[in-house]
Amino acid sequence: MTGAAERMRRALGRTGLYTDPEDQILAGELAAYGTALDAFYAAAEEVRKNLFVQTADAETLGRFERLFRTVPSSAGEDVRRAMLLQRGNVAPGDCSKEALERQLFGAGIRGEIVEQADGLYVNVLEVLGISEEAALRDAELMLPADLPANVDFGRNFWDTVDARGDPFDRMDAAGLTWDEIDRL
């Protein structure tokens, strides 16, 4: 007998409605109801687990992400979960530099914001499992509309320069701008 069927048998036994354990018809009905209820309880538990970003499985995380972008992130579940939680944590008036950096994380960008006289400069350190185009679209939605923002996906990191075997002193002596160096 299933768990639900056993619980029903005990409850009915206490009421006096189920007194003959040899009654095959009633036992069969209880077994059928119990099987259906067990399946229902399992499905309800799955739904309950997937109601919240904190406990959702990978497939449901993808569904939550599709609320914001057409292609879910390919980052790990922990990063995707943190991005979604941050995205849902944006509050009106949350316009400090730190709050904007957290909002960028929700948009799929790990980066730093530098406040400049002519707007914001966003130095993208890492894109979190989405394309740069998707990250830029999401960032534009998250950043203040009244401030121009320069989102820099530059790839000129020290590790990249070192890997090219091109010493910084030699590049500096060439008199190149950072934009020219980025195109190398």
Give the predicted TM-score (pTM) of the model: 0.63
Q: Quote the pLDDT of residue 183.
A: 66
Q: Along the 184 residues of the chain, how does pLDDT read in single tens digits? A: 678 888 888 888 788 777 766 777 878 888 888 899 999 999 999 999 999 999 999 999 999 998 888 788 899 999 999 999 988 887 777 788 899 999 999 999 999 999 999 999 999 989 999 999 999 998 998 888 888 999 988 765 565 566 666 666 776 777 777 777 666 6
- Helix 132-142 and helix 97-106: axis angle, to 10°? 140
Residue spans of the domains in the chain: they are 3-49, 58-153
Q: Quote the pLDDT of residue 8.
A: 83
Q: Quote the pLDDT of residue 1.
A: 60
